[in-house]
Amino acid sequence: MRFILDRNTWQEIYGSISKNKIRTMITVIGVLWGIFIYIALSGAAKGMDNGFEQQFETVAMNSLFAWAQNTSMPYEGFKTGRQLQLKLADASVLKNRIPEIQYVAPRNVRGFFGSEPAIVGRGQKSSSYTVYGDFPEYTKIATKKIYDNGRFINKEDIEQARKVCVIGERTEKELFEKDESPIGAYVKVDNVNFQVVGVHKFVPGGGFETDGDIFIPFSTYKKLYNTGEDVGWFSLAAYDDADVMKVEEDVKAVLKNIHRVHPEDERAFGSFNLGEIFNKVMGFSKGITFLSLVVGIATILAGIIGIGNILLISVKERTKELGIRRALGATPREVRSQIILESVFLTMIAGVVGVILGAGVLSLINRFTQDIDFPYTNPTVPIPYVLGALALMVILGTLIGLIPAQRAVSIRPIDALREE
């Protein structure tokens, strides 16, 4: 420790490095570039992770959606092109037959998929809005952020077919005065009075609805629009340990069985598997992270080998100097420590500068991607990863420094003094 803190030690290191500054700088840049690539690529991959997690933060990552379409194959006397219709009872069948399903939420909508929007008004104000008929289970699949003094649809609303609704932030601004509380007030949905029980917050990229959508109980929707037992589509969420791809296949198989559809008819039911998409995105992001690690370590290793190279050249050029030090009493341990310390010092300088440059580039990327319509946010590298990379560089710098250090201590003082 005393040797490391000795001023003369660092003077000798500086003198050795400054003898050929350009050569040293070029070699250090090789190590610097490696840690820079690692920080930049790992941070960029983390930014993608953060972006997609934010994009899906209010939607279960193992969720999927299923709806009915037209058949494309004849089956059991039914002709091709039969229009299928999901029913409310299908939800119970799916839940009972597929144990991997955690939640099933039947949904209906007016003002979407080509249907006419609902006219919602209050007093002299009115406008067109999308109205959803939902069950409370829907919030288990796609979380709705409700203002503190409000709530979402509950079980009693469904059982009693209450005329209650949850409106969006934009709906509140358009139908209510600035300082007026909408909770407990009434709005007309297609000329039927509904009491407002909640206002849902709008989360950018956080779901599929907008800030103007209105939610009412599924049972009330059924009476209001005379939809009977018809369901527009199912929102489903599987358990965390379930294979979402397998669940999707099972859901379609069960629906085909219920509605007497040919087992090989792939067009009868449509689906959108959010879990599959999320897994692909996460897999791609992990691939980028792994690639950055491989490329970064390979580049760092190449640079460190370069440092070992210039130290071997330095030892050759300083043969006489080392001989004099040995003749004056310097021990092999002191000479070896001197060379290894030079190697670690150069490696650490390169590493720290590379980390700073990488962090600067990530900061610029974050600044320029804040306002773009792409799931990307806060590209960073966890501190343990950075410290781990620097620790690896110290270890490699020490190991590579052993080669020229051993070369230095193997020189006999008498032979060194004869060198010209």
Question: What pLDDT does residue 240 have?
Answer: 85
Q: How confident is the model at residue 370 (pLDDT cuts 50, 70, 90)?
A: confident
Among 8-17, 216-225, 287-296, 402-411, the range scoring the smallest mean pLDDT is: 8-17
For residues 292-319, average pLDDT = 72
**pLDDT tens per residue, range 36-75:** 888 887 887 778 777 766 666 667 778 899 999 999 999 9
Q: How far apart are the first and last CA of the chain?
A: 34
| Angle at which helices 7-18 and 21-55 cross, to 10° | 100
- Report the share of the chain in percent with pLDDT over 70: 81
Q: What pLDDT shows up at residue 17? A: 66
Please report the pLDDT score of residue 369 as a whole number. 75
CA dist., res. 50 & res. 57, Å (int): 10
Contact status, residue 111 vs residue 129, Cβ threshold 8 Å:
yes
Strands (E), 5-111: 63-68, 86-87, 101-110
In this prediction the pTM is 0.69
Half-sphere exposure at residue 369, Cβ-oriented, CA atoms within 13 angstroms: 17
184-232 pLDDT per residue, tens: 999 999 999 999 999 998 765 445 678 889 999 999 999 999 999 999 9
Least confident of 32-36, 366-370, 372-376: 372-376
Averaged pLDDT, 410-420 = 59
Which is higher by pLDDT, 408 or 41? 41
Give the span between the Cα atoms of 276 and 230, in whole angstroms.
28
- Position 419 confidence tier, pLDDT thresholds 50, 70, 90: low
At 206 the pLDDT is: 46
Reduce the DSSP state of residue 259 to 3 states and report it: coil
| CB-based contact 339:312 (threshold 8 Å) | no
Q: With cut-offs at 50, 70 and 90, classify the pLDDT of residue 336.
A: confident
Q: Per-residue pLDDT for 241 more than 80?
A: yes
- State percent of the chain over pLDDT 90: 39
pLDDT at 255 over 80: yes
Mean pLDDT (whole number) for 366-395: 77
The mean per-residue pLDDT over the stretch 326-330 comes to: 65
What is the C-alpha radius of gyration for the chain, rounded to an integer number of angstroms?
A: 34
Average per-residue pLDDT in the chain? Answer: 82
Structure confidence at residue 401 as a pLDDT band (50, 70, 90): confident
Whether residue 3 has pLDDT greater than 60: no
Stronger pLDDT, 15 or 263, i.e. the higher one = 263
Does 391 or 182 have the greater pLDDT score?
182
What is the rounded CA–CA span in Å between residue 56 and residue 206?
5
Highest mean pLDDT among 246-260, 263-277, 341-355: 246-260
The most confident of the ranges 110-124, 226-240, 271-285, 384-398 is: 226-240
Cα 20–chain centre separation: 46
Assign 151 a pLDDT band (cuts: 50, 70, 90): very high
Helices (H), 260-331: 274-317, 319-327
* Long-range Cβ pairs for the range 350-353 (8 Å, 24+): 350/28, 350/29, 350/30, 350/31, 350/32, 350/35, 350/303, 350/393, 351/31, 351/32, 351/35, 351/389, 351/390, 351/393, 352/390, 353/32
